[in-house]
């Protein structure tokens, strides 16, 4: 994939009429891209996701891991990105012992995955609502670290700053310093991209936490738990199912995270009081 190719920029310019105070002005506006991205494993299509065509290498790896089509990054042997008239194809070759190597009609999705949908077309209830294994111990963070991560994330979303139309998922260390950020029109796609990025970078998930600029729907918790992430912070609300899945997975779920306020829904022990002041 050539990062300079116009198919993989994530944003495009379009001519619009901008109305202000009853008068219109022709301007060039920046809008987010949303294209069909086909996930193909050993020649067989598993799903077509509506996504922002940026950081697709991370998307391929993260999606493959959170959908349990591979168990480890080493099982993804090859990735080729093909720009087609209809969209983009991510053609992956996986090892014979990976689940993605044994797709059949029972595992294929019936419908495309829309940008706001994490399981569109999933056939079976057990595939839709997964109960992943419990996460590890993770880390404990202070409220100062949480506030720092929220503050830093505001300036680390170039596509959203340009368009106002995409979500972000970020990885922060114990101090709240943002280390990785990925963006997409779909909240679950952004999280998949982030998971792919941190796995490619060899990040230890017990040394940090994830922040998402969206609601904490159940698939966000499921994806985080499947990656071993023990602390997930969402700027908006969780759902009841997300709370229950987080509780059963041992994951700390924080919602409505805003400057100066947040709600801790599960496993509050990972959020500590402020760090003690150093003596003068």
Helix (H, G, I), strand (E, B) or coil at 166: coil
Run of H or E residues at 5: none
d(CA 208, CA 218): 21
Angle at 52 between CA 255 and CA 215, to 5 degrees: 10
Beta bridge partners of 51: 35
Dist. CA 42–CA 21, nearest whole Å: 56
From residue 163, alpha-carbon distances to 159, 166, 191, 238 in Å are: 6, 7, 19, 25
Active centre residues (catalytic): 117
- Cα 187-110-35 angle, rounded to 5 deg: 45
Q: Strands 167-173 and 208-212: what pairing?
A: antiparallel
Any residues with CB less than 8 A from the CB of 198 and at least 6 apart, and which? 171, 180, 205, 227
**187 and 215 Cβ atoms separated by less than 8 Å:** yes
**Cα separation values, 140 from 49, 144, 169, 193, 230, Å:** 35, 12, 20, 24, 10
Write the Ramachandran bin of 250: left for phi over 0, alpha for psi from -120 to 50, otherwise beta.
Answer: left
């Amino acid at each position: 994939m050539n990062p300079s190719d116009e198919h993989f920029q994530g944003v495009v310019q379009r001519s619009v009429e901008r109305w202000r105070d009853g008068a219109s002005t022709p301007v060039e506006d920046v809008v987010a891209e949303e294209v069909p991205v086909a996930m193909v494993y050993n020649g067989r299509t598993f799903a077509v996701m509506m996504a922002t065509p940026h950081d697709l290498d991370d998307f391929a790896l993260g999606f493959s891991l959170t959908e349990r089509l591979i168990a480890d990054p080493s099982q993804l042997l090859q990735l080729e990105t093909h720009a087609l008239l209809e969209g983009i194809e991510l053609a992956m070759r996986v090892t014979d012992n990976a689940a993605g190597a044994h797709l059949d009609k029972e595992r294929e999705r019936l419908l495309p995955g829309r940008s706001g949908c994490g399981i569109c077309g999933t056939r079976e209830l057990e595939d839709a609502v997964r109960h992943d294994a419990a996460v590890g111990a993770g880390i404990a963070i202070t409220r100062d670290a949480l506030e720092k991560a929220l503050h830093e994330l505001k300036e680390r979303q170039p596509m959203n700053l340009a368009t106002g139309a995409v979500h972000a998922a970020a990885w922060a260390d114990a101090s709240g310093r943002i280390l990785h950020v990925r963006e997409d029109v779909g909240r679950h796609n952004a999280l998949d991209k982030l998971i792919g990025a941190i796995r490619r970078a060899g990040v230890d998930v017990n040394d940090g936490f994830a922040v998402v600029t969206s609601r904490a729907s159940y698939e966000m918790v499921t994806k985080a738990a499947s990656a071993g992430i023990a602390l997930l912070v969402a700027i908006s609300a969780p759902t009841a199912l997300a709370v229950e899945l987080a509780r059963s997975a041992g994951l700390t779920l924080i919602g409505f995270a805003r400057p100066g306020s947040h709600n801790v829904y599960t496993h509050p022990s990972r959020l500590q009081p402020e760090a003690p002041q150093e003596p003068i």
